[in-house]
């Protein structure tokens, strides 16, 4: 179907003009009636954030999303575009997307006055009706709203009293669309004042011109809650004019977090060796984010972005891929020792408190990974200090219960005899499995609580058990080049003393 090319043809087609907020509201109502997913790709917000955003649109509100980094604020704002009409007519050549029925700019008004229904129109796709600006201290009123252009005045021989010497900023150029400002509190207060008229009176004023241009806009903002609430970061009148305030959050469950990571991480790699990921290690990688958000060494006011877990998974997979390239294997299973490859992906994404800075980013990241492994280990295996009881011998008329050692004793005893186990991330799968098989009782222990693992995955699970015992302070571990060395805890303590 061809679209009308002139105002006359547009009138004949029956097209009706409507405000952008009415357009969003009506299209939202239609989408909900069809039971469509309103914000595809947004996970974990169905019962919290999404209903509040929907309410804001239905109420024709401007809105602000408050949340820490990596909480999909910008993605939600950009997804609002899907609620706009696919195409929208504007007067051809218009700088501010003039409505063919109600032109605002001087040039568009003159065209309509001279040529009437013969004025040419063009159609904007919905993607062209969204614009955003990252608030920085150097953003000016001219950037956002506009200013007088002396070069235009000189080249076109116009006086400064002529409205056509105005150079419009990004906000007027987004007229009849959605405009978003990210990190709103970073705007200087005097620039924030320039937004007041747009929010309340829906118009702009430029320099000393008596002209007022009534814009049709949906204004959206994002900010960090701490910056937004600090006195002086944002002027009170601006807060008062933003009708809806929506609080975002990090995933509440491992399943939601994993769905986000699986959706965003680059795991489907062409011409790459096949990397198998055991479910317990995949869960441990996801648990890293939750552990970081509880760490006393991490600044929780800054937050831990979901991007950290995404980058961690990609780095760990790359380490396994590198192993295949070094050993000539066409496939491998992810190992616990590979988790160390996540540290470079974590270090730059963790804002540390003073105590964390004293510890060092590498040590903090290592501790977070260890805590994540222990969390998953304790879900799968019994507590390391749990001692079962078995029927005992009789003393007189009473039976005295005997304490039975926990399931980890055979493994601990093997290391207690001074034996050590070295594992690296560059060992072939065959050598890796052979090293783990040398620990008596380890395979039986692993099979007892992880019944479905077999083959190479079993060896990955056996190493996971050793790491779980280390994180539970039953085994010592030393870092070596590209790997680790498990040994007896007491023996390691004596060596350190010596």
**Range with the poorest average pLDDT among 5-19, 93-107, 200-214:** 200-214
DSSP string, 402-437: EEEPPTTHHHHHHHHTT--EEEETTS-HHHHHHHHH
Outline where 118-195 has alpha helix (H): 141-144, 150-155, 170-173, 189-193
262 and 229 fall within a common domain? no
- Let me know if residue 161 belongs to a domain: yes
97 and 243 fall within a common domain? yes
**Range with the poorest average pLDDT among 5-19, 345-359, 407-421, 482-496:** 482-496
pLDDT for the residue numbered 293: 95
39 and 153 fall within a common domain? yes
pLDDT of 390 above 70: no
pLDDT for the residue numbered 61: 96
pLDDT for the residue numbered 209: 64
63 and 177 fall within a common domain? yes
- Let me know if residue 307 belongs to a domain: yes
pLDDT for the residue numbered 155: 73
pLDDT for the residue numbered 397: 55
Q: Are 199 and 193 in contact (CB under 8 A)?
A: no
- Let me know if residue 391 belongs to a domain: no
Task: List the CATH number of the domain containing 41.
Answer: 3.40.50.300
Q: Are 377 and 471 in contact (CB under 8 A)?
A: yes
**How many domains does the chain divide into?**
3
- Let me know if residue 400 belongs to a domain: no
299 and 327 fall within a common domain? yes
pLDDT digits (tens, 9 = 90+) for 210-245: 667 889 999 999 998 887 766 558 888 999 999 999
**Range with the poorest average pLDDT among 350-364, 393-407, 447-461:** 393-407
437 and 351 fall within a common domain? no
- Let me know if residue 147 belongs to a domain: yes
Q: Are 455 and 470 in contact (CB under 8 A)?
A: no
Could you list the residue range(s) of the whole structural domain that residue 99 is in? 7-247
- Let me know if residue 390 belongs to a domain: no
150 and 225 fall within a common domain? yes
pLDDT for the residue numbered 168: 84
pLDDT for the residue numbered 403: 44
pLDDT of 448 above 50: yes
Place of tokens 């540290």: 343
277 and 376 fall within a common domain? yes
pLDDT for the residue numbered 402: 46
pLDDT for the residue numbered 404: 47
pLDDT digits (tens, 9 = 90+) for 113-133: 999 999 999 999 999 999 999
Place of tokens 């608030």: 135
Rounded Cα gap, residues 101 and 90, in angstroms: 9
131 and 97 fall within a common domain? yes
Coil, strand or helix: which one is 392? coil
Give the mean model confidence (pLDDT) for residues 39-65: 95
Average per-residue pLDDT for the chain? 89
398 confidence band (pLDDT: 50, 70, 90)? low
pLDDT digits (tens, 9 = 90+) for 168-196: 889 999 999 999 999 998 888 888 988 88
**Domain boundary residue among 247, 273, 293?**
247
- Let me know if residue 294 belongs to a domain: yes
Task: List the CATH number of the domain containing 371.
Answer: 1.10.8.80
95 and 159 fall within a common domain? yes
pLDDT for the residue numbered 161: 60
- Let me know if residue 389 belongs to a domain: no
pTM: 0.86
Residue 94 or 398, more confident? 94
**Domain boundary residue among 380, 398, 432?**
380
**Domain boundary residue among 380, 399, 417?**
380
pLDDT of 149 above 50: yes
173 and 193 fall within a common domain? yes
258 and 369 fall within a common domain? yes
Task: List the CATH number of the domain containing 419.
Answer: 1.10.10
483, β-bridge pairs = 424, 480
Strands (E), 381-474: 388-390, 394-395, 398-399, 402-404, 421-424
Rounded Cα gap, residues 209 and 230, in angstroms: 35
Q: Are 257 and 290 in contact (CB under 8 A)?
A: yes
């Amino acid at each position: 179907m061809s679209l009308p090319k002139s105002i006359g043809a547009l009138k004949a087609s029956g097209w009706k003009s409507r405000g952008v907020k009415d357009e969003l509201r009506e299209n939202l109502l239609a989408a909900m009636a069809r039971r469509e997913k309103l914000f595809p790709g947004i996970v974990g917000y169905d019962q919290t954030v999404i209903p509040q955003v929907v309410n804001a649109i239905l109420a024709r509100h401007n809105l602000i999303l408050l949340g820490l980094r990596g909480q999909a604020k910008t993605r939600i704002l950009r997804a609002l575009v899907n609620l706009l009409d696919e195409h929208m007519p504007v007067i051809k050549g218009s700088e501010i997307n003039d409505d063919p029925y109600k032109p605002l700019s001087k040039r568009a008004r003159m065209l309509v006055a001279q040529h009437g229904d013969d004025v040419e129109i063009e159609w904007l796709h919905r993607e062209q009706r969204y614009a955003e600006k990252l608030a920085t201290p150097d953003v000016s009123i001219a950037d956002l709203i506009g200013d007088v252009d002396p070069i235009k005045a000189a080249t076109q021989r116009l006086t400064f009293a002529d409205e056509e010497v105005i150079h419009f900023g990004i906000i007027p150029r987004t007229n009849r669309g959605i405009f978003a400002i990210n990190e709103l509190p970073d705007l200087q207060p005097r620039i924030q004042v320039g937004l007041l008229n747009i929010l309340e009176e829906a118009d702009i004023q430029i320099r000393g011109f008596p002209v007022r241009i009534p814009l049709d806009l949906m204004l959206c903002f994002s900010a960090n809650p701490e910056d937004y609430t600090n006195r002086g970061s944002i002027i009170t009148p601006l807060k008062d004019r933003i009708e809806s305030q929506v609080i975002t959050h990090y995933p509440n469950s491992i399943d939601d977090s994993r769905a986000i990571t699986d959706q965003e991480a680059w795991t489907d790699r062409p011409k790459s060796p096949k990397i198998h990921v055991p479910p317990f290690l995949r869960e441990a990688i996801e648990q890293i984010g939750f552990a970081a958000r509880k760490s006393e060494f991490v600044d929780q006011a800054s937050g831990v972005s979901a991007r950290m877990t995404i980058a961690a998974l990609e780095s760990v997979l790359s380490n396994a891929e590198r192993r295949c390239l070094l050993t000539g294997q066409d496939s491998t299973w992810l190992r616990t020792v590979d988790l160390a490859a996540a540290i470079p992906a974590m270090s730059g994404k963790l804002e540390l408190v003073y105590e964390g800075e004293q510890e060092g980013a590498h040590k903090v990241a290592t501790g977070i990974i260890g805590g994540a492994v222990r969390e998953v280990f304790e879900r799968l295996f019994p507590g390391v200090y749990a001692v079962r009881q078995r029927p005992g011998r009789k003393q007189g008329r009473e039976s005295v219960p005997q304490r039975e050692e926990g399931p980890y004793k055979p493994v601990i005893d093997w290391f207690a005899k001074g034996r050590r186990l070295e594992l690296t991330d560059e060992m072939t799968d065959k050598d890796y499995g052979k090293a783990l098989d040398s620990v008596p009782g380890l395979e039986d222990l692993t099979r007892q609580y992880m019944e479905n693992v077999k083959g190479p995955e079993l060896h990955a699970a056996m190493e996971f058990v050793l790491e779980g015992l280390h994180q539970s302070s039953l085994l010592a571990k030393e870092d070596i080049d590209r790997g680790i060395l498990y040994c007896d805890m007491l023996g390691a303590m004596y060596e350190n003393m010596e």
